[in-house]
Structure 1
Amino acid sequence: MPTIKVTVPAGAWSTEEKAKIADGLTSSLASVATDAGKGDIRQYINIQIMEAATGGYAIGGNVVG
């Protein structure tokens, strides 16, 4: 089962916005799979949106939040 993991700052995205993110990522991966001749895998794509606590992640070596 293909899995896409996305980490976002806690509280940065509403439930509705997360649904749009999940739908867009699912559609993108499904399109690539279809173009590669793998068939329609949309129903098997797992999107995990995790929220990092303030100071719980870094970009370029700098802690964010």
Structure 2
Amino acid sequence: MSFADTLKGLFGKGKQIASENAEKVEGAVDKAGDFIDDKTGGKYKDTVDKVQDAAKKVIPPKE
């Protein structure tokens, strides 16, 4: 098995795990954004919110 095949397999497994745990992953994204907002005093809140939304869009729906 080539290195590329190994990466494809890991990516597929990661998508499956993220899909099975979509609520937990979204919660982690929210928690990370809140942490950043807290540490920066909300200075970058709009940017953090955009990044959170983008991250949530790539989480595959539960199959």
For the criterion TM > 0.5, the same-fold answer is: no
The answer to which structure has the higher helix fraction is: 2
The answer to which structure has the higher strand fraction is: 1
TM-score after normalising by structure 1: 0.42
TM-score after normalising by structure 2: 0.43
